Chains A and B, each alone.
Chain A
């Protein structure tokens, strides 16, 4: 069935450092891909998405490119801030097969940014 694998955390960075959180997926067909962010004590918020190969999603300085050839959707930010400290979830949504259209999440990667 469909699945998402993202890098294990926690990830600790200094302010203004470059961030990469790796995400790869296994899916039937052509899924849409998402990154969600969860701040402490809150639910998940959609950060960005890409719905077809080579699309780049971007928001709040974060970017991710849908790479079908490597089945990846890595999250990047050029200069992180303390306020970016949160848990980041990669997710996919297929339109048939094992996921039946449901959103499939990775396990989440906790990011801590130190001043």
Chain B
């Protein structure tokens, strides 16, 4: 247990479904991140939140919609996904988004399969 909890661990959804991924941390961190990890591709940073404000959106399609209601919780809302969106989605947190000496703490990820 790293201190960052992601649910569910596994998710299978159809292309017309709507689902949400949840991430929770009680480490006192102020920055939270969503990453996408696909087979044979580098880790892709999707979204960055710092003190609940979105500070980065790396050209992510609108079928992915993040929500950060407070510094401890981060959601990724999914709708009308494509099979190529199947991947491991990783959440991470850090003290803040600018402190260069701090690493990130990652959750175990949600394995998403779109059918």
Contact = CB atoms under 8 A, between A and B. Distances in A.
Contact of B2 (A43, A100, A102, A107): A43
- Interface SS, B side: loop
Interface residues of B, number: 25
Nearest to A31: B100
A95 B98 contact: yes
B108 A43 contact: yes
Interface string B82-115: 0000000010101001111111111111000000
A20 to B, nearest CB: 21
Q: Give the interface size class of chain A.
A: 20 to 34
B45 interface: yes
Given A43-B106, A44-B106, A101 B2 contact: no
Contact of B103 (A94, A103, A108): A103
Contacts of A108: 42-43
Nearest to A43: B106
Contacts of B33: 102
Interface in A66-115: 89, 91, 93-95, 100-103, 105-108
B100 A101 contact: yes
B96 to A, nearest CB: 8
Nearest to A30: B100
A43 B90 contact: yes
Contacts of B105: 46
Nearest to B31: A101
B100 A100 contact: no
Given A43-B90, A89-B43, 15 more contacts: A32-B100, A32-B101, A36-B106, A43-B2, A43-B4, A43-B108, A45-B2, A46-B103, A93-B100, A93-B102, A93-B103, A101-B97, A101-B98, A101-B99, A102-B97
Interface of B: 2, 4, 6, 33, 42-43, 45, 48, 56, 90, 92, 94, 97-109
Instruction: Give me the 3 closest cross-chain CB pairs, A-B, nearest first.
Output: A43-B106, A95-B100, A101-B98
9 contacts: A36-B106, A41-B108, A49-B101, A93-B101, A93-B102, A102-B97, A105-B43, A107-B42, A108-B43
